Structure 1
Amino acid sequence: MPDGTYTLLLELPAAATVTFGAAGDYDLEAGWYAYTGSAFGPGGLSRVARHRRVARGEHDVRHWHVDYLTGHSDTELDAVYVSEGDDRECAVARALNDAGDALAGLGASDCDCESHLAYAPARATLAAVARAEHETRR
């Protein structure tokens, strides 16, 4: 499986409190969330398939912050954007945070970014940025 950068576009149809492991509880608004991660090393972009299994309720292990959101019973995984072979995780996350609202401290424990999880009330806001960031870098 190739390596790369990916963004998951997730819908949370109703407000919810989600516990993100050691990061604690976050009161999340209904709307759209975009999580950007990297998949370099063992397994590469097969990590995306793992995220899909968590979202479908087929995998219960919570390893990354996003697992707590994808594993929430009301969350729907809407789309996945991928840039194969391109390590742009932080740049894509920053662009999404600029377009929406960053959820401080989530998904960015191994870098100095504010967050790798962004929120916007409308799908189009995050989808357009994710698509542009990934398509222009192929």
Structure 2
Amino acid sequence: MTEGTYTLVVELAAPATVEVGALGDREFRAGYYAYTGSAFGPGGFARVERHRELAAGERDARHWHVDYLLGHPDAGIDAVVRTAGADVECAVGRALAGEDGTERVEGFGASDCDCDSHLVYAEDGAALRRAVERAHGNGERA
């Protein structure tokens, strides 16, 4: 299946101020971020590869909030977990925001739904990766 929901675990090696499109300048602490998105549009999970290319500096165009974070030189994709064939973007985002040790980044990545955010922050990358896998029902790592 080429469509579904994905979560990117992003490591930010140093604190950064990033201009995030219409959201303006946002402060990001060093640590780990989990961004949950859907891949039901054209290309499906190819969107994840596009995010990887942007994080690697192989692409410049920013379309989604997470692209601005991924475009920062201190940011990189640490892990990707996905659930094929299921639109669980908001459910995964809510589950991650409820995990101990995570904090929501308000207004980020949820402009097309009524969620507060689809991005959470955590200091502990291993704990965040485990939380992402649980939120996806132990979805596949990509």
Alpha-carbon RMSD across the aligned residues, in angstroms, is 1.3
Q: Confirm or deny: 8 A CA contact 1:93 1:116 kept in the other structure.
A: yes
What is residue 120 of structure 1 aligned with on the other side?
122
2:63 aligned partner, one-letter code = H
1:116 aligned partner, one-letter code = H
What is residue 130 of structure 1 aligned with on the other side?
132
1:53 aligned partner, one-letter code = E
* Runs of 4 or more consecutive aligned structure 1 residues displaced over 4 Å after TM superposition: none
What is residue 60 of structure 1 aligned with on the other side?
60
Q: TM-score, normalized by length of structure 1?
A: 0.95
The 5 A counterparts of 1:8-23 are: 8-23=8-23
What is residue 96 of structure 1 aligned with on the other side?
96
Identity of aligned residues (%): 57
1:126 aligned partner, one-letter code = L
Cα distance in 2 for partners of 1:113, 1:14 equals 28
Query: Following TM superposition, by how much is the alpha carbon of 1:41 offset from its aligned partner in structure 2, in angstroms?
Result: 2.7
Q: SS at the partner of 2:37? A: strand
Query: Following TM superposition, by how much is the alpha carbon of 1:125 offset from its aligned partner in structure 2, in angstroms?
Result: 2.8
What is residue 38 of structure 2 aligned with on the other side?
38
Cα distance in 1 for partners of 2:131, 2:86 equals 17
2:58 aligned partner, one-letter code = E
- Give aligned pairs, total: 138
